[in-house]
């Protein structure tokens, strides 16, 4: 039995990993997430779920493309690697603390749907769109089917 397709927004700093990088490699393990809430969202993802690819911490923050979840959650290898920036000495192979999913490139948007523009549509998006909630820093967050449709219609 397959659950109904769900939707997510995932942030990445384009200097570190951009939508162009994803297009080049095709599929990428979404490593380095070290926030429990974000991790829990990834653990609940299913193959085929839709992803809005968001560029953060850059000149023009916003949604730049779409991707799909292409694996179930599995342990993030970087947590075990002492040489990695994402190394977590408190995590063990027996009981891994951090998980990730693979994300597959779908398409680039013809233009960036900017954060500024998204904020202007806060009413239409409804309360609780985590991206534009005050002070929110979550790097992985859920998007409803209605929000997905609305946001992509702005393109």
Binding site for DNA (CB under 7 A): 11, 13, 34-36, 56-58, 61, 90, 115-116, 133-139
Torsion of CA 55, 45, 5, 49, to 10 degrees: 40
Which residue, 47 or 58, is less far from DNA as judged by CB?
58
Strand partners, 113: 63
Residues 12 and 35: their CA atoms lie apart, in Å, by: 14
Which tokens belong to 120?
């202007």
61 touches 114 (CB < 8 A)? yes
User: CB of residue 27 vs DNA: minimum separation in angstroms?
Assistant: 22
Which residue, 111 or 119, is less far from DNA as judged by CB?
119
Which residue, 5 or 143, is less far from DNA as judged by CB?
143
Residues in the chain: 155
User: CB of residue 15 vs DNA: minimum separation in angstroms?
Assistant: 11
User: CB of residue 9 vs DNA: minimum separation in angstroms?
Assistant: 10
């Amino acid at each position: 039995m397959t659950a109904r397709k769900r939707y997510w927004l995932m942030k990445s700093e384009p200097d570190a990993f951009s939508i162009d990088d994803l297009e080049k490699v095709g599929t990428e393990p979404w490593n380095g997430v070290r926030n429990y809430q974000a991790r829990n969202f990834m653990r609940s993802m299913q193959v085929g779920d839709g992803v809005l690819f968001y560029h953060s911490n850059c000149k023009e923050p916003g949604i730049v493309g779409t991707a799909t979840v292409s694996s179930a959650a599995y342990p993030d290898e970087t947590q075990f690697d002492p040489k990695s920036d994402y190394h977590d000495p408190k995590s063990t192979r027996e009981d891994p603390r951090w998980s990730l999913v693979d994300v597959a490139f779908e398409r680039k948007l013809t233009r960036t749907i900017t954060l500024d523009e998204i904020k202007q549509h806060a009413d239409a998006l409804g309360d609780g769109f985590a991206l534009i909630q005050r002070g929110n820093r979550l790097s992985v967050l859920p998007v409803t089917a209605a929000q997905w449709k609305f946001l992509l219609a702005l393109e």
